[in-house]
Structure 1
Amino acid sequence: MKLLPAPWLSLALFAGWLLLTRSFSLGQALLGGVAAVAIPLLLAPLRPRPVPLKRPGVLLRLILRVGRDVVWSGLKVAAGIVRSGARPPQGTFVRVPLTLRDEHALAALAMITAVIPGSVWSELAADRSALLIHIFDLDDEAAFIAHFKADYEHPLKEIFE
């Protein structure tokens, strides 16, 4: 077992300890050092396994696509709020069938869903076969599912599986 399984985390914990205590005394440095070593050691079993980076080009395209969708969805949500008096948003839950099984890919998919305005990851089926997402304003469920699978699920499968 390594003394520092996560050296950057240990450094951040040590620096954070000293900043929070606002003291650079020997006693605080020793306590900060103990915390910086002990906490990562205690949490090491909870850390996910490292994942090799596969298909960096696909990853770059996915990041750009998510950025585009964040801006576009933000504008759609803003427009939906502005016109809500004339036509209230048609918020609904959508069940998206999944073929993605890797836990890292599912975590990335959860983060993507969380940053896109107007979408909320609501539930993952116990067998990971489907995802329930709440959408702020949805016109066409089939088109949304096709977009979600093509733009997010398939690139994540290429990267992680």
Structure 2
Amino acid sequence: MAVVAVAKTATPQYFREGEHEHFAWDCSSVPRRIADLGHFFHRHLKDQDVHEDCIRAMQTLVKVPAVALMLPMPLNDDAQEALRDIKQAGIEIVISAETSFWESPRMLYILRVEPVETKSPVGQLQKFLEVVAEATLPVKPSDGPWLWSLHEP
């Protein structure tokens, strides 16, 4: 009980789960990226050729992850309009596939945005998710997953 109280008081308010709508999305790929960075620099200690590893580590850290979007099928006019809005915002639909969630037909989309070097990856991901959420909120499924960021290698 005391540990929970300490953790809650030690956690900054903007990091408390549930107080920020996109809390999980903001930090979802941070541990993986830090592990990648550690791996690259561990190799640096053993190898002489580190230039490519450093470039790869930096590219990993600044990469904006792809996002998965799941919409109910069949796609109605509102869903088609939402997808057009997403494309007009500069977001690319990389993959689309028919699937199901508990025997309910769904359409799964993998979305990607080109990174902007002058902005932080977390800020770009946040904006990316806000654009997609705003466009698809009226047509999101009532049950099951809808929108989440992906962990990429």
TM-score (norm 1): 0.30
Larger RCO of the pair (alpha carbons < 8 Å, separation 6+): 2
Higher helix content, 1 or 2? 1
TM-score by length of 2: 0.31
Give 1 or 2 for the bigger CA radius of gyration.
Answer: 1
